[in-house]
Every structure is written in structure tokens, then in C-alpha cells.
């Protein structure tokens, strides 16, 4: 048996632990294990890759990598095989589906199966490969925690842990300077990181994509704290958080133009809260800091279990499935059921209820 | 409504986050909230307590404590109300059941309900109070992760995280000095901490109470690593790990006496592995280091959810239950079902299978 | 003896450790110790302050604060007593010198001496107070490490440590995504943080105010790495770093306008390097994250020594001096010699030479 | 030019950063750089070494190692060339001086110069090699900070930082359980680690080799805290701390025997304080945890500067010297002046004075 492993999309802490587990569990069964560089680009576009586009992986290749962030294989979301960018006759850039070709290349390279690690996009590619006769097992990866069908995956815990550490730090400077500190974290469609890091870090307001926000409510919460003698406040904002319709009322005319030029939602919230409260506000964008770094113990263990479970699934003859964490145990889900489901924060979750009971403003008038 | 909160048994990171959540969620409902010092000793033995044996808790009392380790209420397992130590007429120490008296004291102090945070022992006390007419909700606490009926609780994640950091550190010194490093971690009846920290930290052998160990197997694994050019090895041992019957063969005569004098299992394993492998071995006992410190983000969130859920249960008129984490959501379990069930590592768990597939020796001949 | 302590300017990790040491060392001598809120605003503008504008400090007030970031007294640079903002008759804002009034207020409050903790600005205020007959001892504070006359001060080590941790994190994501990561750190006039964190974090280029940069040199270094098979690069930029004269050639016309709107130097470098190298670039601004957080052990010790030394100086009858760290021992420097000297990175320092020998590009053509 | 680098004695965080700097600074000058395994054993006893006993080092060999603990070359103090163990005719183990042979082997291998990184012992070997005509530059290494002639070296800051983190953790569990926590740290001849970590961690008593201790004084300090309502105390003990003469009075007869069997000074202090105060005491030995782990930013920078300075010294034709950190700048000291001087904590240092002024008991009756 000869298998290939690929890591796609944005990187997340734990990818290397998955790779290590896949390699060690394969070797133990006498299989041969190879890594494809840069998602599937090592096969589709080998001349663009660093070093060997497809590399043999043995115990030495993965020695000690379980504790390292990133992925030794490289990871990219720039050239999705389902929507591969091509320059067209008229000079514009179009896209084509190259999964048929990818399936052929995998066969030509002698791969009996593929372990594809990635998010929603990678699972869609994996499903397409499965439809074209490739035996493939997916491993879910999403730092945002927004993949459905799995209780948890790796990367999220590390991101929440570091975001919490950053919030802890901003408390002390905010306190000393009587400021409102606004922290923007990842989370385009789901507010998991903002909610968990905000609760853990003792934030006073948390704005998530699931709840359109009114900054008037946040400003009222900040004023209430001021009145109680607490002159600093900490607001955590998910990058995908959006105001309720029609809220852009604070800044008019030329100012609106300036607002548009401000980067993300963090800068916008900082700017508007300064206007609404008259207080000094500062924003920090954690962004890339949350992707890197050594994975937390939790993420290393889950990633290892996923990698080993993927090999176990292949050993059992399975294909077309994604490994997933159920209530304490690893199982599998058909790839066909996975794609396109985003797991957002349920509005009736006890975590949201807890946030409110701790006195955290969620940007609505509740 | 006037409620009391008590924290019992050994401390675990997250206790203060529970207290904070109980207090804030109570205040929000207009309730009055009090803390009992040192388990239930603030009521049973007030003159032995520091400061006020029963203290009013308001928003100021719990400001910022969510990120702090330990418990502001103190915590003790020396004077269990069910088995309270008393000096008898003949000078010896016996024990009596003081839960009846405790129930009376709670009523006399005007408490309508109690939130009792603790482990197995505290849940047994809570069950006894419930039987005596006290409305009580339990919050599970076990750093060892060995409480049944709840998917997870606080403290464990922090302990595993710090143990992993320590193992990471011991790798580099072990590597440089070609040594076998033995790390003893908590876990009297269950090997969860050893298993998770060992896997996350890249240990080469993990010994847990669930699998009686043969050091000959560990020594063979160490020799195999030596033969492959890896001259250091890292062994994680749970404090409750035990050898298979009849294994104490390495040291004879006077030496056995010396062995007995060695502290815990870590020192024993160090000593015997040195004899079996001829390599330099060193052991480190993490013990108390794992109980202290600021809780991880995960533990802060779970602890907050537990605290808020306990108050929510009381608001719904519940009593005689323990809050518990199911598959993603908080629920309750009758206290009568909780006591006496230890959740050990299932021998067929995928985590153990993963450990073996990563090449980790589990001390048996598998 | 009754003394006052004030913390001014931006906050830095270690301020609370100074306060604690001043208080404990004073109490031990039987002195009375008070804290002034928000720099000197507790006296000059008491109605603007939170809670008590001047607060009695005893052992309980400072219990456990040595490990906390920020300052319990608050800290501000908005209302410098030497240049106090006043609204003038015509509505514009002017400024007046209120140090005479401040000296009077200190006397009226019965303070025999003042410990003034802060940076260049605070030392100038301290010198002015000394000239007006107030016995004052300064404690140097600068997170940027740019105060002359002292070998080191607190805050810098914590900032460098956390910046290094952030750089470590950005390596793994940069590596996986083949990106150029640009990290902007504090350092308006001096590049100490950038230089030390960049060297510790293994940066490939470091841009500091002391060396005007040419991005062409940085781009060449990045291309050389690419050619050697290293497709990610990490650039650390001090906020005060500036291009050599005339370098703004990359972007012309409308683009230049857009560039101007980009925030700081980090965004500018990111943008221009993308143009020069054709690689994906991302920037992160660490800013406020570096001010907050628990001080490092080094900073706690230095801060404690400074606080105790300030009290010792007062006990010896000294005034008009700043405590300073010489070669291993604490001494004092006349305040009159302190002001206005910025300690920049010497161009002939062995640290800069080391950076070059490690192959780090410093933005010049050397 | 062809140079060799060797790391000897116990490992310390920063060794790899020295190696990296030596290699990169050498390559930059067009030199060839080799590493000797396991101190000098790669030459003296090659068959005992892992892999290649002498290994070529290039930029790839040292890529990214600056952030790693330990030493890629291995490090040993078991076979000191000056006192090399040999089995004699009668079966006993004697020792011989093999530095003459080592000098010959270095010449035979074509090495023009040697960079020898290590502590007191390694500097003595380096001095001997210098006397025998080998060009050698020493780099000081001591985690205990007890090497004279250099203001600071690497390893100490990392050890103090981690010890402080451990003490921070023990505070919360000690507080919750009303216990006395005793922490034993490294420091056989000098108390630098204990003093700095103890001050930074807010210890209540610190025992160092420089001040013979009386536990009666420590017990009195603990009782005074109890009386003031603080029922936990934290005692930091350097492994080399010793009681004043005749203090072993607590335990008599059979008990004394048991005491002797207790491991180090930490267990002894725990045991005796329990007897003297009647309080629950627990001890933790940090030992090996302090040697490992990723070096702090400070240590990485100092180690890099030392490595580059050693190469610079060689480039200037120097030999027989040790690089050293003076007041902010790197210099060199003749090896002949280095050996045998231990830098202990001066009894009149302001750091000790500060400790007393913070109310820390130093084990004497002062």
C-alpha cells in the first residue's frame, strides 16, 4: 500500500501532528507514505513547488514535528483544483476543474489512497476525487471551529488560548490608561473564537457574526462600567461581525469615506466607539498570530487521533469519508454530507447564555 | 433567594471561574450570594477559618478572579462532613457524620440553596445534604478527569497543558545528555493526564493505572531507540501506575529496602530502568505544579458555563443534581447516580490505539 | 515621613512591582505611603480621577501586585504638568506650566518626598519639582530601552520576550504559506526592541530608526532566500524606522495616495515589499500587546530593586536624583543630567555586528 | 581556516544559539566549521558517540536551532579530558590527563582553532589546550550564573523565568490549601537562581548557599504570616543551601536516620518546617525542568553575541581567551584568569537588601 498526504487551505496548529500520526501509523502497517507539496500543487504544478513536489515521508521526516506549528508540506488555497485559475486567450483569468487530471496523476504516481487534510474547500476536492475513483479519507481542519459533523478539531484550541493570552495583556494596559481596547480575532462566518476567547479573557463585550451588533448597546455598556468606577473596557470582535442594518449613522459625509478606508471591523468599531463614548479607544488585530505557533496539548492529541484514525479507516477499506470527533470517540462521516455546512454559534447555546449572565454585552439590546 | 457556594477537596484551576460565574449569575437574578470558607468548615468549624468563615460575595469580590488559579474560598479535604475526625475519650481519632448538623447550620444561616463544587467526595456530601432536605446543585471538579457522567470538567486541560510544557523541556535536556527522563504526573486511579500529556509531549513510553506495566517492555523500547540512534527516551508515569504482579525482581536484598524508601512510582521506575538499561536516568515529579496556575482558556470557559448552569438549575427549581457536560451542551445528572463511579481510560479507546500506532510503549508486551 | 508615589506616561510591565517595593520598603521604615492617581492628575485635577485621587497604600494594597501588568495608580501622558492643556478665551487649546502649583499641592498634602516613576517626560517634571523645593527621586521607565544613564530598566525585557514569541508564531504560518511576514514593534527613536526581538526570533531583516532603510536591499535578501529554497521571510520593523531619502519610488500617482493612508510603517513595508518581490506579504502590528501582561522575572526583579533603591535614597537624605542600574549595582544620577538624552543603538555595537554576521539584512547595502 | 566547536558539561538553554552564531559567522568569513560530539568525546572516544563523532556544520545544520533548548552536539561531563576515567589493572577506576592527546587529535583533524563552550570545567580544559599550543576561545556557560568575569551568560534568564512561573503556580495551590510550599531550585555554590526567582515569584523566604539558614527564623516568619491572616507561605531553597552549624535539632534518634534518607535540601526543609510550624508542607524539586526548554529572548541574544564574538576573536588572531559580557559590550578575558572563581551573591548587594526590604526572610536572624 502506498498513500499520499496533502494539507490544504490556511494553516492551523496541529497539521504537523496529523502528518506525523499518518506517517507513523502507515509505517507500522508496512505501508509507504508520501507527502504532496502545497496542497495538491505538488502534482498539478510541480515546477512551482519548493524542492521535491512529492516527497517520501519516513519516521525521520516526521521526528519531533508534532510540537511544531504550520505544515512541513506547505499549504495553499490559491490554486483550488476545483477552480484552478487559468489565464485565458483574452488575458483575463478564468478557472477550470482539474480534479479529473489530479485523480489521473495520483494513479500514475502509484498512490492507492489519499489522506486529505483541510477545511470545507479541501473536503469538496476530496469528495470530487472520491467520485472519480480515488480512495480518499478527509481530516477536518478549521481554526474557526466552524466545520459541522465533528465535535471539535485541531487549531481552534491553540487560537483561543493565544487570543486569551493577548486579551489578558490588553486588560492591564487598558486599565492603566483608562482605555477601551478593541481586539479583532478570526471568524468570518462563526464567532467561536471571539466567544470563547472573550469569555476566557473576561471581555466586556463580544461581537460575533451570528448577532448583528448595535454599537449604541456596546457604548451603553461601556458607560455603565464607567459609572461603576471601571474606566477601561475590552471589546472582542470577530472579523465577520456586522452591524445591524442602518447602523452606520455615527459618521457622516467625508468621515464615512475615511471609515471605509479603515481596515477591518476592529478599526471600525474602535473609531465609532471613540465617537460614541468620548473615550480613548485602541484596536489590535490578532489575525496571523492565531494561526502560528506550537499547537496546544489538546490540539496535538486530537490531531494525532485524527491522523491515526484516517489510516485505520483506510486499513478497514474505507474511502469517501471524513474522520470526525463524536462524543469522546472518533468516527467517520461520508464526505458527501460534509461540504457546505458551516457550524455557527447556536443562538440558544448555554455558552451564549452564560456570556450574558456574566454581564457580557453581545451587541444586541438584550 | 440567598445561596451559598463551597469548594471542596484538592484545588484545580477553574474553581475561581466557577465562583465568579455563580456570583454574577445570582446577582443578575437579584439573589444574595455567600461563600463558605474551606469546604464546609466555615460552618462546621468557624474558629479554625481565616477571616470571616462565611463571606458575602458581590461583583467586587469576584472581579478579575476568573483568570486566577486556586479558590478564593479555600478548599480542604481534611475534614469531610461525612467522616469528620473527632478525638475520642481514649485519645484515638475516630470520625462522625456531621451532615445533619451541616444541613441545620445552612438553614439557620438562611441559605435557600447551596452550590457545592468538588470531586467524588464533595458530591457524596451534596447527596447527603439533599437527602436531609437541603436544595443543592453540584459542580464536578477533578483535575484527573476521572469523574463519570460528564464529558469534561475544568482543571484537566490546564494540568495536561503544563505537563506537556514540562515534557517539552525535558526532551532537550534528555537529548543533550543521552538520558532517560522519567516524569511522574497525577492520576491515582486513571491515566488521563499521563496519556494526554505523554502523547502531546512525544513521550516514548506511558505507564497508566489501567495497564499494569512490565519495565522489561519499557527497557526493550529504550534499547530499540538506542539502536536506531536515539539515545534519549522520555517516560511518563501516572502516580497510580503499578507493575504487573511479581515484577519486583530487579533489586534484591538490601536494595529492595532502599527501593521502598524511594518516594513514588517515578523514582522507582527511574531506579529500575537504570538497572535494566545501564543508562543514566533522572526522574521529575510534577505533582503540585499541575494543580496551580492560571486556568487555560478551555477551563475558564467550561468552569464559567458550569457555574452559570448551576444557578440556572436552581432558578428552575432543581436540586439534588450535578451539572455535567454532554456532547456540546450542559445538562444535569441526579447526584444519586454520580458517587463512586471512576472514569478510567477504556482499554479499547481510540486514544490508546493511537498511542500504540505512534510507537509509544504502554508498558505491556503488546 | 510621609511619601507619595506617582506613575506617569505609557504603562510598562513592572510598574506595580516598583509600587510594591516602594510601599513595603517605606512601611518597614515606619513611613506613611500614598499613591497619586493618573500621573499627577490626582492632585492637579482630582475631580477627573477614578475613586480617591490620592490613596493610602499599605501592605494589603500591594499584596500580590508584583506579578501584575499595568499600574494600580493609573498612568497618563495626556496632562503633563509642565505643558498642561488649557482651553483659552478664543476657544483654542493652549498650555501652562503647573509644576509650581503641583509643588504647593504636594506640600499642602503633607508629603515630605515623592517617588516619580516614568520616562523622559516624568523625569523632566521631577527635575522641575526638585527645582521648586520638592524632595523627589525618579525611577526610570521606558519600554523602548531608550533612556540613557541606566544600563537597563523594566518593561523592555517583557516586551522583547512577547515580541519574540509572536515572531516564533509567525514563522510557522509564513513557512507554510510561503509568505513574507512583516512585524511592526514599538520603538519610535530607538530600535532596541526590534533588534533584540528580531535576533531572538530569527528574523531575516530588521529595520530600525538608527539605520535608514532601502527596501531594495530587503527585497534582495528575500530573493536570495527564495533562491536558496526558503520561500518565507520575516521582517521586523520598529515603528520609527524610516526609508533613506528619496526611496518612495515604488508607487506612483494615485497609489502614493493610497500608501499614505496605510497606517504605520509595517503596512507600508508590507505593501512595498509585495510590489518589489511579487510575493504574498502580510503585516502584523504588535503595539499595545507589548505594553501589557505580567512582567518577566527579570523585570520584576529590576523593578523591585529600583523601588527599594528609591526609598533607600530618600532614607539617606537624597533628592533630585534618578535611580539607575550600573554594571550590576544600583546607583543614582542627578535628574538634571537625565532629561533629553535618548539612548539609541550604537552603530558600532557588537549586537549590530552580530546581527549582520547571522546574515540578517539591516536595510542598508552593507 | 577550519574550526571546531564543542559543548561541554550540563546543558543550558542557549547552547544551540551559540553553535548557530559560530557557524554562520564562520561561513560568512569563508571558514569551514565542524562540531565535536559529546564534549570532546567525539575525538577521544569516537566509538561511544552517536552517529558521526565529528560532524560538518553548515547553514542547513543550524537552521532554526536558535530557538531550541539543549545542544545538537550533545554535552557531557562524564569524561573530562583533564581527569579521564580509566579502569586500572586492579579493576578500580583511576583517571588520566588526556589533553595532550586531545591537542594532537585536533591538529591531526586539521583544526586551526577551537571554540569551547562550557562552564568552569570546560574553561580549565580550554586553558590546558591553549598551553599545549591549540588556539582556543572559550564561551562561558553556567545556568547558575556563578561564573566570574562575565556580567551575565545564557541559560540563567531562562531558568529564572521558568522557576518564577512554577512559583506563581504554587502560590495558588498553596493559598487554597493553607500550605507551606517549598521549592528547590538549582544553585550548588551560588544562590542567584533562588534569589531572583524567589523575588520575582513573591516568595516569603529564600535560602541560599551564601547565608547558612536557621529554620527557626523561617518558621517564625511563617507564623507571623499566619497571625496576619495569610495562611500559606512559599519558601525557595537553592540546592546548595545549608543550615547553620548544629541546627539539626528538630528530629532525634530514628527520625534523624529517616531525614538522611530524604533526597535533597527541599525535602529536608519541608520535613523540618512541618515539625516546627505544625502546618502542612509540600516540596517540589524543579531540577531538570530548569535546564531544558526554549531559551528566553535574552538568552538567545546573549548566546548569539557570544558565538559571533568568539569567531570575531579568532578572526583577530586571538586565542587563550574567554569571551565575556562587560557593561553592555562583549570583551575577552584570559583563560588563565577564569578558572576556579565562583561568583556568589555578595552579602552587601542591593538585591539582597531589596529582598529584606520586601519582607523576605533569608533564613538568618536579621
Same domain, C33 and C140: yes
Reference A83, options A119, A38, A128; nearest CA is A128
Tell me the pLDDT tens digit for each residue of C180-203: 999 999 999 999 999 999 999 999
Residues from chain A contacting residue C171 (CB–CB below 8 Å): 69-70, 292
A261 annotated as a binding-site residue: no
Instruction: Share the mean pLDDT of chain B.
Output: 91
Q: Which has the minimum average pLDDT: B5-9, C46-50, D8-12, D278-282? A: C46-50
Tell me the pLDDT tens digit for each residue of C126-161: 999 999 999 999 999 999 999 888 888 999 999 999
Q: Indicate the pLDDT class of residue D262, thresholds 50, 70 and 90.
A: low
Hey, are the CB atoms on A74 and C176 less than 8 Å from each other? yes
Q: Does C278 reach chain A within 8 Å, measured CB to CB? A: no
Residues from chain D contacting residue C157 (CB–CB below 8 Å): 297-298
Beta strands at D321-325 and D330-334: parallel, antiparallel or unpaired = antiparallel
C-alpha cell at A115: 489522506
Q: Does D292 reach chain B within 8 Å, measured CB to CB? A: yes
SS3 state at B152: coil
Same domain, A130 and A194: no
Q: Among residues of chain B, what percentage have pLDDT more than 70?
A: 94
Same domain, A223 and A303: no
Position C149 scores a pLDDT of 86
Position A14 scores a pLDDT of 97
- Best of A169, A183, A200 to substitute, by most chain B Cβ atoms within 10 angstroms, is A200
* Within a domain: B189: yes
CA distance to partner chain B, nearest, from residue D348 (Å): 33
Hey, which residues 157-196 in chain B have their CB within 8 Å of chain A?
A: 157, 160-161, 163-164, 168, 196
Position A195 scores a pLDDT of 98
Whole-complex ipTM = 0.93
pTM over 0.80: yes
Position D75 scores a pLDDT of 82
Is the pLDDT confidence value at B252 over 60? no
Position D247 scores a pLDDT of 58
The tally of domains found in chain C comes to 2
C-alpha cell at A201: 479573557
Position B8 scores a pLDDT of 92
Same domain, D93 and D141: yes
Alpha helices in D54-119 (DSSP H): 99-108
CA distance to partner chain B, nearest, from residue A161 (Å): 5
Same domain, A90 and A192: no
Position A365 scores a pLDDT of 77
Same domain, B25 and B131: yes
State the average pLDDT over residues C46-56.
85
State the average pLDDT over residues D3-20.
95
A23 neighbors A57 (Cβ within 8 angstroms)? yes
Tell me the pLDDT tens digit for each residue of B43-92: 999 887 767 899 999 999 999 999 999 999 998 766 789 999 888 889 89
Alpha helices in A316-357 (DSSP H): 335-338, 350-357
Q: Specify the CATH number for the domain of residue A45.
A: 3.40.50.450
Position C99 scores a pLDDT of 96
Q: How many helices (H) and strands (E) does chain C have?
A: 12, 13
| CA atoms of A186 and A146, how far apart (whole Å) | 11
State the average pLDDT over residues C320-340.
89
State the average pLDDT over residues C162-166.
97
Neighbors of chain D with 3 or more C-beta pairs under 8 Å: B, C
* Within a domain: D116: yes
Host domain of residue B64: 2-155+295-328
Reference B10, options B192, B146, B162, B210; nearest CA is B146
Same domain, B77 and B222: no
Instruction: Share the mean pLDDT of chain C.
Output: 91
Residues from chain D contacting residue C351 (CB–CB below 8 Å): 301, 305
C-alpha cell at B349: 479507546
Task: Name the DSSP letter for residue C287.
Answer: G
Q: Which has the minimum average pLDDT: B340-344, B359-363, D66-70? A: B340-344
C138 neighbors C123 (Cβ within 8 angstroms)? yes
C-alpha cell at C95: 498650555
* Within a domain: D74: yes
End-to-end CA distance of chain A: 58
Same domain, C315 and C253: no
| CA atoms of D50 and D56, how far apart (whole Å) | 14
Highest mean pLDDT among B6-10, C15-19, C340-344: C15-19
SS3 state at B355: helix
Pairwise pLDDT comparison (D338 vs C20), residue with the higher score = C20
Position A366 scores a pLDDT of 62
* Within a domain: C115: yes
Q: Indicate the pLDDT class of residue D257, thresholds 50, 70 and 90.
A: very low
* Within a domain: C341: no
* Within a domain: B365: no
Hey, are the CB atoms on B309 and A21 less than 8 Å from each other? no
Hey, are the CB atoms on C297 and D358 less than 8 Å from each other? no
Q: Among residues of chain C, what percentage have pLDDT more than 70?
A: 94
Low-confidence ranges of chain A (pLDDT < 50): 249-261
State the average pLDDT over residues D321-325.
96
Query: C130: which residues sit within 8 A by CB, 6+ positions away?
Result: C136, C319, C320, C335
| CA atoms of C366 and C213, how far apart (whole Å) | 11
* Within a domain: A363: no
Hey, are the CB atoms on C202 and D67 less than 8 Å from each other? yes
Q: Which has the minimum average pLDDT: A258-262, B195-199, C23-27, D51-55? A: A258-262
Pick the residue from chain C with its C-alpha nearest to A283.
C288
Indicate the angle between helix axes B297-315 and A350-357, nearest 10 degrees: 80
* Within a domain: D339: no
Is the pLDDT confidence value at B352 over 90? yes
State the average pLDDT over residues B347-358.
96
Same domain, D211 and D353: yes
Position B33 scores a pLDDT of 98
Same domain, B55 and B200: no
Same domain, D276 and D319: no
Task: Name the DSSP letter for residue D46.
Answer: G
Distances (CA, A) of C15 to B99, C36, C73, C295: 49, 14, 9, 9
Hey, are the CB atoms on D358 and C308 less than 8 Å from each other? yes
Position A260 scores a pLDDT of 47
D2 neighbors D115 (Cβ within 8 angstroms)? no
The residue from B38, B144, B146, B299 that is catalytic is B144
Position C366 scores a pLDDT of 62
Tell me the pLDDT tens digit for each residue of D176-210: 999 999 999 999 999 999 999 999 999 999 999 99
Same domain, A41 and A61: yes
Q: Specify the CATH number for the domain of residue B270.
A: 3.40.50.460
CA distance to partner chain D, nearest, from residue B85 (Å): 17
Q: Does C121 reach chain D within 8 Å, measured CB to CB? A: no
Amino acid at each position: 500500500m502506498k498513500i499520499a498526504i496533502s494539507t490544504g487551505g490556511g494553516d492551523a496548529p496541529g497539521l504537523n501532528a496529523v502528518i506525523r500520526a499518518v506517517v507513523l501509523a502507515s509505517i507500522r502497517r508496512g505501508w509507504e507514505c508520501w507527502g504532496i507539496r502545497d496542497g495538491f500543487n505538488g502534482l498539478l504544478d510541480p515546477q512551482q513547488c519548493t524542492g521535491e513536489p512529492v516527497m517520501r515521508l519516513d519516521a525521520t521526516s516526521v521526528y519531533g514535528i508534532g510540537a511544531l506549528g504550520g505544515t512541513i508540506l506547505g499549504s495553499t488555497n490559491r490554486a483550488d483544483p476545483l477552480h484552478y485559475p487559468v489565464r485565458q486567450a483574452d488575458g483575463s483569468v478564468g478557472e477550470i476543474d482539474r480534479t479529473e487530471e489530479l485523480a489521473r496523476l495520483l494513479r500514475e504516481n502509484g498512490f492507492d489512497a489519499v489522506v486529505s487534510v483541510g477545511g470545507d474547500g479541501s473536503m469538496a476536492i476530496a469528495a470530487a476525487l472520491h467520485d472519480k475513483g480515488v480512495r480518499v479519507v478527509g481530516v477536518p481542519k478549521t481554526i474557526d471551529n466552524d466545520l459541522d459533523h465533528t465535535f471539535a478539531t485541531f487549531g481552534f484550541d491553540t487560537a483561543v488560548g493565544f487570543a486569551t493570552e493577548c486579551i489578558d495583556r490588553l486588560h492591564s494596559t487598558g486599565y492603566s490608561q483608562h482605555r477601551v481596547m478593541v481586539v479583532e480575532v478570526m471568524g468570518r462566518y462563526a464567532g467561536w473564537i471571539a466567544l470563547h476567547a472573550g469569555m476566557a479573557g473576561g471581555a466586556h463585550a463580544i461581537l460575533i457574526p451570528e448577532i448583528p451588533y448595535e454599537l449604541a448597546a456596546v457604548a451603553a455598556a461601556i458607560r455603565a462600567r464607567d459609572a461603576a468606577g471601571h474606566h477601561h473596557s475590552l471589546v472582542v470582535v470577530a472579523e465577520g461581525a456586522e452591524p445591524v442594518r442602518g447602523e452606520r449613522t455615527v459618521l457622516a459625509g467625508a468621515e464615512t469615506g475615511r471609515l471605509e478606508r479603515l481596515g477591518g471591523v476592529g478599526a471600525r468599531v474602535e473609531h465609532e466607539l471613540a465617537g460614541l463614548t468620548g473615550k480613548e479607544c485602541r484596536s489590535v488585530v490578532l489575525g496571523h498570530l492565531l494561526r502560528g505557533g506550537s499547537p496546544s496539548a489538546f490540539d496535538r492529541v486530537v490531531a494525532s487521533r485524527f491522523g491515526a484514525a484516517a489510516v485505520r479507516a483506510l486499513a478497514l477499506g474505507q474511502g469517501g469519508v471524513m474522520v470526525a470527533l463524536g462524543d469522546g470517540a472518533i468516527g467517520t462521516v461520508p464526505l458527501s454530507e460534509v461540504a457546505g455546512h458551516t457550524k455557527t454559534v447556536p443562538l440558544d447555546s448555554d455558552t451564549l447564555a452564560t456570556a450574558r449572565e456574566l454581564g457580557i454585552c453581545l451587541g444586541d439590546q438584550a
